[in-house]
Structure formats: C-alpha cells, structure tokens
Structure 1
C-alpha cells in the first residue's frame, strides 16, 4: 500500500540477455542519498503515451500478459525477504 499524493521512484536496471535486452525495476527508498537521487532525476526525461504506444500495447497484449503471468509466478515463489518493494514510507 502506497500513500496518495506522494511521489515514489524506481530505477530501471537493464539486463542484457542472449536474444533481447530485459529490464528490472528497483525501488528507491526514502533514505537514498539526496545528491544521488538528484543526479538520477537530472538524467531522466518525462514521456507520455502516444497513439503509437497505445497501438503497440494493443498489438502485443497477449505477449505482455503471458510475460506478466510468467514473471508473477516466479515473484510469488520468492521468499518475502528477497522481494524488492516500495513501502509507504518511501514516498516523497
């Protein structure tokens, strides 16, 4: 459960695989070094969905859902202590 009105951050960690690049999301906790957070934010750019991105998602919905189901099974089988998660107190 996260708190409404707060901003939460996650880092995108690229993972190079044999056939395709993948990514994982990592939570940024509230106790992160502020200089480090500011540095990360300075290199980000805001993006919005477009008609083209919505079309891509629609065309790939089955593949996206299959991946989601597969990764959720792996996630659910992990011990709670090894699941990186955002906590309500991590909001800014």
Structure 2
C-alpha cells in the first residue's frame, strides 16, 4: 500500500502545472464538421518527471497541441486529411496521420530512454486494440491553459531546433508510424 501511495504521489507531482484537469471534452464524442479528434494518451509512468509536448507541424511551423504528462490524455481536434505530429522531450519524434472527418483516433505518447532525460515516440493505437480501453482508463483528461500556451511560445526556438535536427533522419527512415483513416472509430452521435 505504501508503494502504491508513493507511486500515486510521484505521478501527480510530475503532472504539468501548465495543463488543467477537465471532464471528457465534447470533441471526443462528436468532432465538429470536417474534423477528426486525436486522443493523445500517456498511460506509462516511466519517465514521469519529464513532460512531453506535442505539436502539429503539418504547415511546417509547429502549432502547439499540448503537454501530455504521465497518466494524462488530451483531445486534439484537427482538420480531416493528412497531418504530421511531433512529440518533444530530449529529442523529437514524429508520426503521420490521415484523418477521416467525424472519426476519433488514438495515439500513445511512449517514453523511452534518453541520454540525459526521457525521449518520446508517438505510437498509433487502432480503435480495435485490446489495450485501448485500459490505457484510456489509466489516464485523466487535461486541456491547455494560458500558461501552457505561454510555455510553448517561450520555448519555440528550442522546439524548432529539435524539429530541424531530428526531422531529416525521420524522413529518411523506413519505419515511420502512420495513423491510417481506417484505424479510427466513428464518433458517438
């Protein structure tokens, strides 16, 4: 019991103070017209002291999506079509997606060992995955605040530098994570 309590305290202490806990966002049950919702979740407590920030880099310039702490999940409503997302920790990693309108998609922010701190990857999770529901239950909802947006703006030089450093290698690689249109689920009506 002491171990469980210590773990709970550690996880809650590592949550980003820039994000705010919320009930399930409306976009998770019904994305608006011509959009899809991507649920980014981080069920693992590994690397819990390090925050993972996510950006949509489809246009070339990083657009802040949010900070996904250990044990948290975030809903991102995006235009239907092809998107490229980037997760930043010690390094940057990427995932391409092709969203169909009015679908809900899922991706796991997966921590991995880094040299100085945790690195992260984005892993597509098909709606049919047997682990999806337990991963979702392991996380609580968060949303952006003015403080999270300020953090992203003040760190944009570093974020762009990581994108410039890691994107060429990712582009030349062959094993790129891809979230396909047919891996989502229809929004509840």
Shared fold (TM-score, shorter chain, > 0.5): yes
Give the TM-score normalised by the residue count of structure 1: 0.86
Q: Which structure dedicates a bigger proportion of its chain to helix? A: 1
- 2:156 counterpart (54, 57, 61): 61
Number of matched pairs: 88
1:44 aligns with 2:139: yes
Give CA-to-partner distance per residue, 1:31-85, whole Å, 9 cap, x none. 412xx21101101111111111111111100110111222211111012xx1111
Matches within 5 A, 1:1-92: 1-33=98-130, 36-79=131-174, 82-92=175-185
Give the TM-score normalised by the residue count of structure 2: 0.44
SS in structure 2 of the partner of residue 18 of structure 1: coil
What stretches of structure 2 of length at least 5 have no aligned partner?
Answer: 1-97
Q: Which structure dedicates a bigger proportion of its chain to strand? A: 2
Provide the aligned C-alpha RMSD in A. 1.2
CA–CA separation in structure 2 for the residues paired with 1:18 and 1:70 = 16
Of structures 1 and 2, the one with the larger relative CO (CA 8 A, separation 6+) is: 1
